[in-house]
């Protein structure tokens, strides 16, 4: 910031930030490929593809270990060329909940520097994994090490402004001149796509963040939300292990709201049809939807289809 290398533009939520980022990337390098994790948030692909960019996938989640397949990820990203874009989840990977370690972020930053690809970081859940600072540690490492990083930030979850569509596209550039040029292009892209973002949510976010007292209250409330999610993970793990006799430690290792339970599509279908427990065929669940009134029934139902 002090060097004037950063430009940003308010967007309609994280989706708007992703679209503006993609618009800028296509304008700069229409032949670039965007590398997207397998699996990823399903809307990533149409948002990126809508501007004409081609995409490739890289291995990310390993169902056998319920963690990051980092060897596969690195092997796939070695095929990324200079000018390509690698879309990364800043924290709380959606849909798996499996996050990169700091050492793994360091390897990715070294690869980006050596190969010349640009990280595009979608950080939609900052503060809901381990905390505001902890969840941004990998992103900060990229920004410190690389000349260019693109960020799609959202206030939907961590500020409770989902319906207000409050986000930002942030461009970390090589120098101030590039930052000014990117900002001009971003404004032009925004004018084409949505003209003006909603003001209400941004005004609320600005007031909270600019007022030390409100900021302190918000940080405390966000920490409570984060703590609740992590407690639910521990409780869900214990309930599932007690009901099934199987190991569900991976649920507690994951971060954020989402997790794969490791069920087959047929098992997920049985849960829906026989027990009225509804989840995607991938067995992805929103951990935040678990509570004291349904956790035992959920665990017992899952145990019956294993």
Number of Cβ within a 10 Å radius of residue 280: 12
Q: Is 122 part of the annotated catalytic residue set?
A: yes
Catalytic residue among 124, 136, 243, 268: 124
Collapsing DSSP to helix, strand or coil, 109 comes out as helix
User: Burial, 177: exposed, middle or buried (Cβ in 10 Å; 0-12, 13-18, 19+)?
Assistant: exposed
Q: Which of 41, 76, 84, 105 is catalytic?
A: 41
Count the neighbouring beta carbons within 10 Å of the beta carbon of residue 32: 20
Active-site annotation holder among 84, 122, 135, 268: 122
Angstrom distances, CA of residue 200 to CA of 10, 30, 204, 271:
12, 34, 6, 41
Could you tell me how far CA 290 lies from the centroid of its own chain? 21
Tokens of 181: 């040029």
Is residue 157 flagged as an active site residue? yes
Length of the chain: 306
Determine the Cα–Cα distance for residues 100 and 97; give it in Å rounded to an integer.
10
Nearest alpha-carbon partner for 220 in 137, 132, 289: 132
Backbone angles phi, psi at 122, to 5 degrees: -95, 110
The C-alpha atoms of residue 201 and residue 298 are separated, in whole angstroms, by: 35
The rounded distance, in Å, linking the Cα atoms of 11 and 194 is 9
3-class secondary structure, 18: helix
Among candidate residues 84, 157, 189, 202, the one labeled active-site is 157
Whether residue 35 lies in the annotated active site: no
Q: Does 124 qualify as catalytic in the annotation?
A: yes
Among residues 258, 241, 39, which one has the least CA distance to residue 129?
Answer: 258
Residues labelled as active-site residues? 41, 122, 124, 157
């Amino acid at each position: 910031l002090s060097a004037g290398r950063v430009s940003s533009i308010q967007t309609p939520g994280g989706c708007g930030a992703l679209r503006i980022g993609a618009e800028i990337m296509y304008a700069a390098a229409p032949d670039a490929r965007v590398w997207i994790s397998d699996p990823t948030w399903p809307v990533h692909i149409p948002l990126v593809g809508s501007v004409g960019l081609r995409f490739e996938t890289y291995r990310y989640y390993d169902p056998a270990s319920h963690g990051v397949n980092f060897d596969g990820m690195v092997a796939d990203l070695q095929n990324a060329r200079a000018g390509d874009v690698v879309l990364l989840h800043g924290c709380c990977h959606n849909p798996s909940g499996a996050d990169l370690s700091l050492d793994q972020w360091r390897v990715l930053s070294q690869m980006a520097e050596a190969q010349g690809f640009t990280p595009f970081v979608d950080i939609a859940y900052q503060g809901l994994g381990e905390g505001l600072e902890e969840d941004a540690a990998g992103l900060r490492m990229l920004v410190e090490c690389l000349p260019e990083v693109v960020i799609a930030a959202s206030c939907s979850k961590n500020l409770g402004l989902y319906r207000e569509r409050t986000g930002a596209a942030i461009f970390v550039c090589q120098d101030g001149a590039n930052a000014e040029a990117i900002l001009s292009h971003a404004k032009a892209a925004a004018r084409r796509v949505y003209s003006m973002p909603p003001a209400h949510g941004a005004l609320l976010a600005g007031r909270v963040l600019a007022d030390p007292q409100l900021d302190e209250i918000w940080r405390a409330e966000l920490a409570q939300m984060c703590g609740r999610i992590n407690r639910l993970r521990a409780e869900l793990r214990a309930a599932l292990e007690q009901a099934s006799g199987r190991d569900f430690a991976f649920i507690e290792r994951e971060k954020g709201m989402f997790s794969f339970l490791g069920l087959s599509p047929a098992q997920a279908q049985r849960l829906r049809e026989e027990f009225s427990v509804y989840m995607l065929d991938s067995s992805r669940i929103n951990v935040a939807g678990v509570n004291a009134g349904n956790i035992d029934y959920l665990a017992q139902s899952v145990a019956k289809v294993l």
